[in-house]
Amino acid sequence: MTTTPPGYVVPAPNADTREFWEGCKAHQFRVQRCQNCGTFRHYPRPACHQCASFDTEWVDIGGGGVVYSFTIARHPFHPAFRDKTPYAILVVEMDDAPGVRMASNMVDCPVDDVRIGMPVEVVWEDLSDEVTLYKFRPLNR
């Protein structure tokens, strides 16, 4: 068993988010879909924001999307990010889950090359046996 590297800020799964983070450990992007009206949602929460139903299923939506918005972090907001700036923070509209937008960092791409509408795909960063983070990289379509 490995442990999370020191200095990392890691998620703390709860009853609502545990399935999402377990999916990340399995390298699957799992989001909730309402079983009453079919609406996808993320962040994880107990009820549908469209119809208020509690009937929910988890589905793997794949890892493709396009950059909906982004910003460049040039100053670290936490000491763990001191040697990682500048980096791009993306909001990605997911291809296979209409209405779902995921936020994370871009990797394998100079920050000045990031553009709205850019196709991206998820990459997994296994920090330890307990924690896997998701990030995005450019996809050449």
Q: How far is the CB of 78 from Zn ion (least distance, A)?
A: 36
H or E element that contains 56 = strand 56-60
Polymer length of the chain: 141
> Which residue type sits at 80?
A
Residues 26-55 that bind Zn ion (CB under 5 A): 34, 36-37, 39, 48, 50-51, 53
| Token couple for 129 | 């046996």
Q: Binding of Zn ion at residue 2 (CB under 5 A)?
A: no
Q: Which of 103, 100, 87 is nearest to 11 (CA)?
A: 103
Size of the site for Zn ion (CB under 5 A): 8
Strand bridging mode 119-126 / 64-73: antiparallel
Q: Return the number of the residue (10 or 59) whose C-beta is nearest Zn ion.
A: 59
Kindly list the residues in this chain that would bind Zn ion in the complex (CB under 5 A). 34, 36-37, 39, 48, 50-51, 53
